Amino acid sequence: MSNPTIVVVGNGMVGYKFCERLIAKSSRFNIIVFGEEPRHAYDRVHLSEYFNGKSADDLSLSSLSWYAENGITLHLGDPIQEINRTSQTIHSLLGLTIQYDYLVLATGSSAFVPDIPGVEKDGVFVYRTIEDLELIKTYAANAKNGAVMGGGLLGLEAAKALIDLGIEETHVIEFAPRLMPRQIDSAGSGMLQSKLKELGLNVHLNKSTSYIGGDHKIEAIHFNDESVLAIDMLVISAGIRPRDELAKLAGLHTGTRGGIIVNEKMQTSDDRIFAIGECALYEGMIYGLVAPGYEMADIVVAQLTEGSKLFYGYDMSTKLKLIGVDVASFGDAFVTEPDCRTIVFEDTHKGVYKRINITTDGKYLLGGILIGDADAYNILLQTVNNKIILPPNPEDLILGSRGGAENEGTGIMSLPDDALICSCEAVNKASICSAVSELGVSSIDGMKKCTKAGTGCGGCIPLVKDLIAGTMKANGQYIKNVICEHFEYSRQELYDLIKINKLKNYDLVLDHFGKGDGCEVCKPVVASIMSSLWNDVIVKQDTIQDSNDRFLANIQKGGTYSVVPRIPGGEITPDKLIVLGQVAKKYGLYTKITGGQRIDMFGAHVNDLPLIWEELIDAGFESGHAYGKALRTVKSCVGSTWCRFGLHDSVSFAIEIEDRYKGIRAPHKLKGGVSGCIRECAEAQSKDFGIIATEKGWNLYVCGNGGSKPQHAQLLANDIDKETLVKYLDRFLMFYIKTADPLTRTATWLNKMDGGMAYLKNVVINDSLGLVSQLEDEMQSLINTYHCEWKEVVDNPDLRKRFAHFVNAPEEKDPSVQFVPMREQVKAKW
């Protein structure tokens, strides 16, 4: 008997997942997939990242060759027109007729567009596919004001997309009296709204639209309350409509408000036809999230491979980051008193709102809402799903334990064995713990290989990590913070060992204190430690450096490098500016001003780097260490020399500080800032160290951070003079360099430090460890041994020789590097 043929209609996320799961279970099926879109399946959940520079390829769930390699026939851009259930055949737009043994409908949904006069005008879009995004992107280039209709989850995503596209004024219009009406309550919505307002998003609630005004193209939205909002473009995100037209045409049962009716086996009214994902209607409900769609795909796979799994609905709890604000809703978020007891915590200053609903007897958690801080989401969701008995003070769940005895009742280890930890791959707590206890798994990577936990959305990884650590601890295993398999030491221990034994070569360090042949983790760590201790020319041991440090430039897409000369404090003469322009022009480099007040030149071939630097050094430039875990820039405002508000000369101080610490290598990159007054134009409080002028002197802030988890720097000392400040800064930086874990920024280092800021102040100011004179001496010796790494290379023919792409054709450049024009410059062809 030949292999049964399965036709999948739809190549979205769920359709793709079905194929992936089916081939993992069985190879006896002949799978044929039809997709309406011209692209193969991509990640629709992270669609807005398309505007942050992710390409359509980055969003793809697999490569095109994946289908062929797995024997799946894929027809793209060819929607199915008709199903003939009697002959068990389907007919496609391009004229294909195929007989199926089983048919899987994964047709998904389309954007719901309300019937408002004027929706057909130019400048009105929906937000659903990459094609929609491309249209929006093109139109947004000429738009100043934009609005999104719909304040739900997708609507807010779309609003973020408009902000990312540079729309100056972005509005969200919601018909309901609150944002995300399906997930959060009015108080939560209020908090979210005020957070979004800070981020530049204008929210209008209780607004119903009467018509869209403008000739041909949209100019304004007119509301029923007679108010008008002038805008250049509108994105409609007012909900979804299941794509059930094909099923309807074939006479399958559908819901009155749309959706293909399925049973717990995902079968439609024809038992050879299944429906999964957003087109499927199970017990009156459309599941508009990806996780339940994957679950449905699993059910059908089980049906086809003699499994017994059935669908019993799905937990619609969600946690997401909307425009940088955490929003989570879990369990029964809306139940109110007297059916439950509700505990609410609200901090309007920080923009945090937390609500939990517990049973009237105080024993169980029913559900809740978290805005602004959703760190507790995983454990709270587990507490609901596993009916864990609450501790005597359930408010600890959202406030954290505030002194007193540790509460063990809600810890991760108290979860029952069948608690679902990874919902994408259906891995429970028992599987994870036994992988640790019986198979000796001790890392996330190992766990991914062994159980697949954490390989889907990745949201459970923190929980999995805690479970691994918790199980190891419970088994009496000593958890040591080691560098990698080759070194059984923490960075700080290895730092001390290298120092005491005066080791200056990686192989020696490995022979003395390690095993094996090293790896890409320990090599750069040891390189960084040796650099912080001895400050030798790093390219003398080039093969233990990360690629950026090996070639003293930042590797970029396509394998070219970028070049950033140091411009201390952001101050530069017109002559030097001209040199940068001439060099960039000569070597065909793309230029851009960086966030640290420097100029970055992209697209340099590795062969050209020494030539470029030779010219830059001749003009008086030095390496900017943009490639190193080292001091980057000290940003400055213009200060008292020009600014009418400036109290002191911030530029001169920034230059002095940048020159002092340039070239010094640390566990991670270091950034500084100096502001001439409290207006803080240098944004110094977002840096690893920030200096702000006061009437009486300077304030020194430390351990701030921008990046993915911004954190304000904290005040270390106030109203001090320059000399004292430099002394404190020497001590602080050296203490960080000596004690931080690899790749840990100062903010994280402080967050992990026992005693926190009070402890750090004691070490740096009150000398509680008796270390300060040693720290100052060590810093001084690093400052004394400064050298421009690029000058060392340019002046040394042997080192220069290493900057070639082909070892056997050193003059030739990499032919695979190609550029395409973009806004009068170039970008890597990719």
Partner 1 sequence: METTIAIEWILACYADDVPENGGACVKHGNEQIAVYNFSRRGEWYATQNLCPHKQQMVLSRGMIGSSGEACEPKVACPFHKKTFSLLTGECLGEDDFKITTYPVKVIDGKVYIGIAA
Give contact residues for partner 1 (rule: CB under 8 A).
445, 448-449, 455, 485-486, 507, 516-520, 522-524, 542-544, 546-548, 550-551, 555, 557-559, 802, 805-809, 812, 814-817
Residues forming a β-bridge with 228? 222
- Please report how close the Cβ of residue 489 comes to partner 1 at its closest, in angstroms: 17
Q: How far is the CB of 558 from partner 1 (least distance, A)?
A: 7
Q: CA-to-CA distance for 42 and 795, rounded, in angstroms?
A: 50
- Minimum separation from the CB atom of position 668 to partner 1 (A): 16
Q: In the numeric block, which tokens belong to residue 75?
A: 């027809």
| Cα 199 to Cα 156: distance, rounded to the nearest angstrom | 12
Coil/strand/helix, residue 125: strand
What are φ and ψ of residue 46, in 5° steps? Answer: -105, 30
Q: Is the dihedral of CA 279, 281, 287, 293 positive or negative?
A: negative
Q: Nearest 5°: CA angle at 342, between 339 and 344?
A: 160
Both tokens of 230, joined, read 């002038």
- Which CB, 2 or 808, lies closer to partner 1? 808
Q: Which amino acid, 572?
A: I
Please give the Cα distance from 586 to 614 (Å, whole number).
13
C-beta closer to partner 1: residue 544 or 630: 544
When the beta carbons of 557 and 585 are compared against partner 1, the nearer one is: 557
Measured from the CB atom, the residue of 406 and 517 that comes closer to partner 1 is 517
The half-sphere exposure of 120 on its side-chain side, counting CA atoms within 13 A, is 1
749: helix, coil or strand? helix
How far, in Å, CA of 735 to CA of 751, rounded? 15
70/407 with CB nearer partner 1: 70
Look up residue 541 and give its two tokens: 């041991």
Closer residue to partner 1, CB minimum distance, 104 or 424: 424
Q: Least distance from C-beta 607 to partner 1, angstroms?
A: 12
- CB of 89: closest distance to partner 1 in angstroms? 35
The nearest distance, CB 461 to partner 1, in angstroms, is 13
Q: How far is the CB of 557 from partner 1 (least distance, A)?
A: 8
Cβ distance to partner 1 smaller for residue 101 or 542? 542
Give min distance, CB of 455 to partner 1, in A. Answer: 7
CA–CA distance, 632 with 661 (Å, rounded to integer):
9
Q: Which is nearer to partner 1, 422 or 544 (CB)?
A: 544
DSSP label at 177?
Answer: S
CB of 527 to partner 1, least distance (A): 10
Do strands 325-331 and 318-322 pair parallel, antiparallel, or not at all (unpaired)? antiparallel
Q: Helix, strand or coil for residue 113?
A: coil
- For residues 256 and 808, which CB has a smaller minimum distance to partner 1 in the complex? 808
Q: Which of 654, 659, 656 is nearest to 674 (CA)?
A: 654
How near is the Cβ of 494 to partner 1 at its closest, in Å?
16
Query: Cα separation of 714 and 527, whole Å?
Result: 30
Which is closer to partner 1, CB of 438 or CB of 811?
Answer: 811
Q: CB nearer to partner 1: give 558 or 706.
A: 558
Can you tell me the distance from the alpha carbon of 326 to that of 322, in angstroms, rounded to the nearest whole number?
6
DSSP state of 389: P
Distance CA 809, CA 704 (A): 47
Minimum Å gap between C-beta 458 and partner 1 is 13
Q: In the complex with partner 1, which residue's Cβ is closer, 784 or 816?
A: 816
Give the pair of three-digit tokens for residue 387: 């009916």
How far is the C-alpha of 412 from the C-alpha of 476, rounded, in Å?
17
**Phi, psi values for residue 508, rounded to 5°:** -65, -45
What distances in angstroms separate CA 315 from CA 322, 423, 564, 663, one per listed residue?
A: 20, 10, 50, 53
Which amino acid would we find at residue 217?
A: K
> Among residues 321 and 540, whose Cβ is nearest to partner 1?
540
Min separation Cβ 544 and partner 1, Å: 7
Taking phi over 0 as left and psi of -120 to 50 as alpha, with beta for the rest, 604 belongs to: beta
Tokens of 400: 């954290």
CB of 448 to partner 1, least distance (A): 5
Shortest separation between residue 560's beta carbon and partner 1, angstroms: 10
* d(C-alpha 458, C-alpha 648), whole Å: 48
CB of 513 to partner 1, least distance (A): 15
Q: At which residue do the structure tokens 């359930």 appear?
A: 394
Distance spanning both ends of the chain, measured CA to CA: 46
Of residues 807 and 820, the one with the C-beta less far from partner 1: 807
DSSP 733-746: HHHHHHHPPTT--H
Query: Amino acid identity of 640?
Result: S
Q: Which is nearer to partner 1, 486 or 491 (CB)?
A: 486
Q: What's CA 478's distance to the chain center, in Å?
A: 32
Write down the least CB distance from residue 554 to partner 1, Å. Answer: 11
The CA-atom distances, in angstroms, between 487 and each of 442, 668, 804 are 16, 19, 33
Q: Is 55 or 781 the residue whose CB approaches partner 1 more closely?
A: 55
Name the DSSP letter for residue 390: P
Interatomic CA distance for residues 377 and 153, integer angstroms: 17
CB of 590 to partner 1, least distance (A): 18
- Sequence-distant (≥ 6) Cβ neighbours of residue 77 within 8 angstroms: 35, 36, 37, 38
- Toward partner 1, which CB reaches closer, 237 or 554? 554
